[in-house]
Chain A
Amino acid sequence: MVTTDDIWKLLEGVPDPEIPVLSILDLGIVRDVTLEENSCTITITPTYSGCPAMKYIEEEIERTLSASISLPLEVKTVLSPAWTTDWISESGRSKLKDYGIAPPENEVDKSVLFAEPTVVPCPRCDSSDTKMVSQFGSTACKAQYQCNQCHEPFDYFKCLK
């Protein structure tokens, strides 16, 4: 007999396609798992409106789960409550750092004009002496930074609130 715990365990094995060290659970985009006698529904939420990975994630969830359980599966997408970077788990944050991506810092509200840019420590040498190169990076969820100490460029998983 399959339990919801089993399903959550299986979902741990589904990676985020853009940051494969993170599972979709680390990323915090799985909202709900419901198990009924004859069906199983997984509810997910996108990180950004235009996130191109959602379709792929849906398929990966179906592929992973259908290998172990025989119930008909439905993957549902909801927009509310909207995902924020607070949904990233603690282990997700440390995996990001180990991977060379600075995890999200608590930033001031974006609507404050001319605010000081957030201090983002370098994921390699931990120096706080870093600079933002661009608010927009290789994917919708990242910004580009550079470390003034070790001079490495790095991605920053930007705060979304």
Chain B
Amino acid sequence: MEEKKALFEYLLRLGDDSLILGQRLSEWCGHGPILEEDIAMTNIALDLIGQATNLFEYASSLGVDKRSADELAFVRYEKDYRNLLLVEQENTDFGYTLARQFLFDAFRKPFFEALSQSSDQQLAAIAEKSLKETKYHLQHSSEWMIRLGDGTDESHERIQQAVNQLWAYTEEIFEQDQIDQQLIQAGIAVDLSVIRASWTKQVQAVFSEAGIDLPQNTWQQKGGRQGKHTEHMGYLLAEMQFMQRAYPQMEW
């Protein structure tokens, strides 16, 4: 594949992870269990949507096709979104939301650390910027994992359940295909097999502090990178895309 096309695809994957998780978190706006957490989740959503904006603007500037950053974000069909299945999972309850966030943040931090060394300067710049925010996200989600895991019987039970269910979407995080391989060769993309150890270490450290058991289930669901999404994705897109579908090309 032409390198520019591969990079375009890679940017969509990263942008979609940020955008879809940002959309999910924004659903908490006005519904957080306490005011501080309502504010925290919407702040994190804003960071993620800002990262997505940077990634889509860069993708759009490559000239691979004519779509603007907004069009990339809001008018693709479901099968054209490339995000991890993990990030599209429903909010369910506060613990479930935080478990989803933690599993993702623990990946994103070492990922952005590695990506900030990319041979592609713009990608490295986006990663360097995003990393600073991600450190705050990971600290926040790690602390809540511990608070909930080591809290009451009820909070412990719920967070353990959440981790057990979300575990099925963790293997996919480290899957790599032709596009990854091509861009790793070129020094542009991150070799996920290298950063996997950092993820595992962070997850184990926090779980052990929180008294959460590492799930033993081996069933893994994959397909997000190929556009095969779970049943939750359509509802999320319906909400997220409504304005652009109802009023095409509208601008703020």
Q: Which residues of A contact B (CB under 8 A)?
A: 46, 48-52, 78-84, 109-111, 113-114, 133-138, 140, 144, 158, 160-161
Contact = CB atoms under 8 A, between A and B. Distances in A.
A58 to B, nearest CB: 14
Contact of B40 (A78, A113, A136, A161): A136
B133 A136 contact: no
A88 to B, nearest CB: 15
Given A110-B135, A134-B39, A50 B49 contact: yes
Interface residues of B, number: 34
Interface stretch (B90-98, B123-131, B217-225): B123-131
Given A82-B128, A109-B135, A110-B135, 5 more contacts: A51-B50, A79-B126, A135-B40, A136-B40, A137-B43
Contacts of A49: 47, 50-51, 53-54, 126, 129-130, 133
Contacts of B130: 49
Interface in B130-153: 130, 132-133, 135-136, 138-140, 142
Contact of A80 (B36, B43, B49, B125): B125
B78 interface: no
B44 interface: yes
Contact of B129 (A79, A113, A133, A135): A79
Contact of B140 (A111, A135, A160): A135
Given A111-B135, A144-B36, A50 B50 contact: yes
